[in-house]
Structure 1
Amino acid sequence: MAAPGKLRVAVIGAGAAGLCAARHVAARPESFAPPVVFEASGRIGGTWVYTEETGQEPDGLPVHSSMYRDLRTNLPKEVMAFPDFPFAPSLPSFLHHSDVLAYLESYADHFHLRQHVRLWWRVEAVVCPAKGGWDLTAHWAQDRRVQATERFDAVFVCSGHYSEPFVPPIPGLETFPGRLLHSHAYRSPEPFAGHTVVLLGAGPSGVDLALQLAPVARRVTLSHRQAPVAGLPGSVLQLAPVVAIAGDMVQFGDGTMQRADTLIFCTGYRYHFPFLPVAHLGLQITEQAVVPLYRHLLSPRCPRLFFIGLCQQICPFPHFHCQLLFCLAVLQGTCHLPPVAEMQAAAEAELQQHLTAKGSLKHVHQLGAQQWGYCQELAQLGGFEPLPPMLRELYEATRASRAQDASNYRSLNYRVLSSEAWELVGAEGGQ
């Protein structure tokens, strides 16, 4: 039980967002009881925990991580770090996924967070009883018969959104006789040696897999609706989106037909929160959106349940940091939310604006260039230090470098000089 006057907070997930939540709750003992972090797996790190398993773990749980063996970050460590915990300066700017996991483990150890994490506890339900607060029910992942229900004053949902693959409907897909998978289940290029591979989608994973598969596959085709990706090997063919499949023949939007023996969907992930009382929250949770939310964070009807990290096209760890400090200011009472009706109107107006512009819920949480104003506003309202200007400048420089040369931008290394300045310090291999 929490001490009188202290709020008891549950955190769902011990990935980057969940660890950040635990770190900042634990740092405020005057307002909060020690946080309780529920982690369904046997270790911290969330999506950064690599496993060669796909589909299901040996214990029957679905594989959470989408890491592949040779993944390197597409952002430099100089902008990836939590603002209060830099990466080791000896590391290159673009990290192997194992370095990011080691960083999160060091973060947990530095701030003494492991004591707050309950490993192997999977959240089944979060409900709001008539008395207020939240009743959270979880079971022990290794024996579902062992379960417990506890009362919390607030809940942070930090379970991520890179574990439930999204596969768009394509006419004739069921007739395809070859190998079909989502990038979530991709681990290494060797099993695809000699294959004719079509990659659907040119986001970060689609481009990465094209680079990895090009040296070993018979042919790699990257199917997408964007401008041509610059810097891919000349052997990678870029075509319009796939519109139909008939057996092993793939039809593209420009009328091109091509045989394939492997289709890999690099088409993103679904939002999936089966433990939440959607109707009570007043929310619609679809494959592509959680709406209407006030500031992408909370349901106006239930302002003590927070979604951390729903947004896309962001600088993730600093983004989590800002969201969490704002939410804690709300809980501590130093930042006052508007009345429920006003928050509801603001959330619905923002949603309607998106629907008018885009025509669907797709990308409703995609911030892109808007992320900086968003984080700045959270800092102003929450009364905490805003993100340094250097962060945006280096993030945008990296984005431009990646757009110019998808194959080589990770060879660059950077150094932070101050909160406002950074420099390029050379490239791997002397480039």
Structure 2
Amino acid sequence: MNSVSAACPPSDRGQTCRKLRRVAVVGAGASGLCAARHILSRPSSFAHPVVFELTDHIGGTWCYEEHVGTLPNGRPVLSSMYRDLRTNLPKEVMMFPDFPFEPQLSSFLPHQEVQQYLQRYCENFKIHPHIRFNTMVEMVKPVIVTTDSGEENTTWDVTSSCLSGCQKTETFDSVLICSGHHSDPHIPHIPGIQNFKGQVLHSHSYRFAEPFSGQTVVILGAKSSGLDISIELAKAGAKVTLSHGYPPLTFPLPPGIQQSGSVVAVDNAGCLRLQDGSVCKADVLMFCTGYNFHYPFLDAAQLGLEIQDHMVSPLYRFMLPPAFPSLFFIGICKIICPFPNFNCQVQFALAVLDGSVPLPSREQMEKEVQQEQQEKLEKGVQWRHLLKLDQGQWEYCDTLAQLAGFPPLQPVVRSLYEEVWRQRQNHPVNYRRNNYQLVSATRWELIHSPEPERPNV
């Protein structure tokens, strides 16, 4: 199959057709849908995208699946969604900038509402016809061809298979990897873990709290999911120890939750040994320790990349390998406002592909990545945390917008994001009761803030 498509309107017959770039999108979660939406909006530069989706639905991790481990068809469960999850960001900053949530909804949404939002996004931008469901990407491989003029041109062979196992290989000009990074659980090594006599699981396989009622549960990890699940378990009658290596959390936690240092080992009797040398017994040990980057369809060495549990490097602008600048990882950054970030990355990637944004040489891109990483390391950032943007996300998105010529994120997004972050630190049980409204590009309002509920409800 040709790597490009030609499109000539009837009035242009007899003229040289402009060749449209053909783009493969891996994954039909939020970032993949965003990629397809913007490719479809540029019909003079791009052919219709092909979106490869492993499951039979869109939405990625936002689609709740009660199964854990594997599905009846034998394929893995990718979603890490639990039944009662509500967003920890308000819809007013979570939305794609060009597609708001329905205004009557509360600011903090159950996951079902986000899934329905993505369905509406998909329908509104007519993305469904371009998605191949139940299709696994087996391999994404660069093919370098030397033209008659001596220039090297890279295309991409994408090999995929359907449920019946039938394989085919197609050629594309570019590939956007939108497969997410919340499906391959990261489980740190704990010496003696085989001695633990209770249940061991990762939050990836957690669905609801009721089975843990009356049990003693040690949660390892106190970031968003660890804290959220701890509160759910405590409300369901579990006795929870929140184990982490950070300074003690200073905000009020519900009764039934205590803090401890990290679990460092399991002794011969099956007790958990903590950082301070103390030991505790537990019925359940749950890892809320994040996820690995996992791209089994890529040959990292061939691409000049190093893919580790928490890091992919080098990536110019956190997206593209300098050796192969027509391959893009969308949504790989952490501690971000996700949908707006995806929206910026996709538009930058397409501007690179259509020639609107010229890239530096491979050597210069590699040098810039190395310098940026070195600056962070010298400030004390650990290597495994180099993809966490946090406060750097705003300058990052502004830079992409400036370079590619699309509207930057409105200042109100940052302002409200940071306000909710403060509320979450001070009121982890109650902050989702607030509702917000965007008043202008720079102002938001709190429109409903009832009396806070007591932690022990």
Q: Secondary structure of the equivalent of 1:299?
A: coil
Q: What CA deviation, in whole Å up to 9, does each residue of 1:84-142 have, x standing for no partner?
A: 000001100000000000000000000000011000111000111132210000000x2
Cα distance between partner residues in 2 of 1:115 and 1:126: 22
The alpha carbon displacement at 1:429 in A equals 7.0
SS in 1 for 2:21: coil
The correspondence for 2:128, drawn from 114, 118, 122, is: 114
Q: How many residues of Structure 1 are paired with residues of Structure 2 in the alignment?
A: 429
- Partners of 1:218 and 1:189 in 2: how far apart? 8
Q: CA deviation at 1:77?
A: 0.4
The Cα shift of 1:235 comes to 2.2
Q: For residues 27 and 94 of structure 1, what CA distance do their matches in structure 2 show?
A: 30
Contact 1:413 1:425 in 2 (8 A): yes
1:26 aligns with 2:26: no
2:194 aligns with 174
**Counterpart selection for 2:90 from 76, 83, 88:** 76
2:327 is the counterpart of 1:313: no
Segments of structure 2 that go 5 or more residues without pairing to the other structure are 7-17, 146-153
Counterpart residue identity of residue 414, structure 1: Y
Whether the 8 Å CA contact 1:248–1:261 is kept in 2: the answer is: no
- Cα distance, 1:279 vs. partner? 1.4
Shift of 1:316: 0.1
**Residue in 2 that maps onto 1:265:** 287
Aligned letter for 2:157? D
Partners of 2:238 and 2:256 within 8 A in 1: no
- For the residue of structure 1 that corresponds to 2:89, the secondary structure is coil
| 322-331 or 353-362, which deviates more | 353-362
Deviations, residues 143-182 of structure 1 (Å, cap 9, x unaligned): 12x0110000000000000000000001111111110000
Instruction: Specify the SS of the correspondent of 2:383.
Output: coil
**What is the one-letter code of the residue matched to 1:413?**
N
Partner of 1:367: 389
Q: Paired residue for 1:66?
A: 80
The answer to whether the 8 A contact 1:197-1:217 is kept is: no
- Aligned equivalents of 1:8, 1:218: Cα separation in 2: 53
Q: Displacement of 1:355 after TM fit?
A: 3.8
| Equivalent in the alignment of 2:234 | 214
Which residue matches 2:263?
242
Equivalent residue, structure 1, for 2:311: 289
Distance in structure 2 (CA, Å) of the matches to 1:81 and 1:426: 20
TM-score, normalised with respect to structure 2: 0.92
What is the deviation of 1:337?
0.8
> In 2, Cα distance between the equivalents of 1:235 and 1:226?
20
3-state DSSP of counterpart to 1:237 = strand
Q: Partner amino acid for 1:182?
A: H
- Residue 418, structure 1, aligned to residue 440, structure 2: yes
Quote how far apart the aligned CAs of 1:226 are: 2.3
Given the alignment of the two structures, is residue 188 of structure 1 paired with residue 202 of structure 2, yes or no? no
| Cα distance, 1:383 vs structure 2 | 0.7
Alpha-carbon deviation of 1:428?
A: 5.5
Query: Which of 231-240 and 414-423 deviates more?
Result: 231-240
* Structure with larger Rg: 2
Give the drift of 1:39: 0.2
What SS does the aligned partner of 1:281 have?
coil
Do the aligned partners of 1:291 and 1:351 also contact (CA within 8 Å) in 2? no
Tell me which amino acid in the other structure corresponds to 1:20: C
Checking the alignment, whether the CA contact within 8 Å between 1:413 and 1:428 is kept in structure 2 is no
How many Å separate the matches in 1 of 2:321 and 2:376?
A: 18
Secondary structure of 2:445's match?
strand
Which of 382, 394, 409 in structure 1 is aligned with 2:416?
394
Structure 1 residue 227 displacement after superposition: 3.4
| Map of 2:297 onto structure 1 | 275
Instruction: Tell me, yes or no, if structure 1 residue 353 matches structure 2 residue 371.
Output: no
Partner of 1:232: 253
